[in-house]
Structure formats: C-alpha cells, structure tokens
Amino acid sequence: MERKAILIKFSVESRNFESNTERNRFFRELYGWKQVVTKQEKKYTYEREGLLDQIPCTRIDKSMLLIRKEYVDEILSFLQEWENKVNWHMFNVLLDKEQEKLLEEGF
C-alpha cells in the first residue's frame, strides 16, 4: 500500500529580509541551532529546537523537505508567516513501504 506525503521546496528571497539576522531567524525557527556558551574557561553547548525537530520529516536538500501529509498544516502555517520573504511550492508524492520507512527514520 502506498502512502501520501508532501514534498515542499522553498527559496528565500534574501533581498526582502530587513537584515541577515532576520534571515537567520527564519532558518533557526525552522531547523533549530546549536548554541555554544563559554563561561569561566568552560564550554557549554545547547541544542535549540526548530519546527522540524517536532515534525517527522526528511530533509532532501537545504530547501527541500519530505513530510507526511498529516503535518502539512504546521509547515504551511510557518511558511505563511514568512510569505513575503520565502517562496514555496508543494507537491503530492506517493511512498511505497520502504520509502515510508525511510521517511520515519529521517534517512
């Protein structure tokens, strides 16, 4: 049996962002980031979660994601917050059992 998934391709319109900081905020909110803090000669590393840490997905490329259909509303809501700065397209895809397993594992 095949299961439906969504392929999302997005591109960032850098010139529409007010600054590199704002552009970085988009990527951090989506992917999360690692924060390293040095205090009294010790280093502390913190993993900050992004939206994709909460949604089962496979990152095909820097700007291409494969997600299960039931999570599309969460991604769409996030992208709509950035609609003047990020363009995106969604494609329906069918997965066989092996591909679905890869999606669950995150490749």
pLDDT in tens, 72-91: 999 999 999 999 999 999 99
Cα of 50 vs its chain's centroid, Å: 8
pLDDT tens digits, residue range 42-57?
999 999 999 999 998 8
CATH of domain 3-105: 3.30.70
Q: SS3 for 94?
A: strand
Statement: residue 1 has pLDDT above 80: no
pLDDT of residue 22: 96
Predicted confidence band at 106 (pLDDT cuts at 50, 70, 90)? low
pLDDT of residue 34: 94
Contact status, residue 66 vs residue 7, Cβ threshold 8 Å:
yes
Contact status, residue 4 vs residue 64, Cβ threshold 8 Å:
no
Predicted TM-score (pTM) of this structure: 0.81
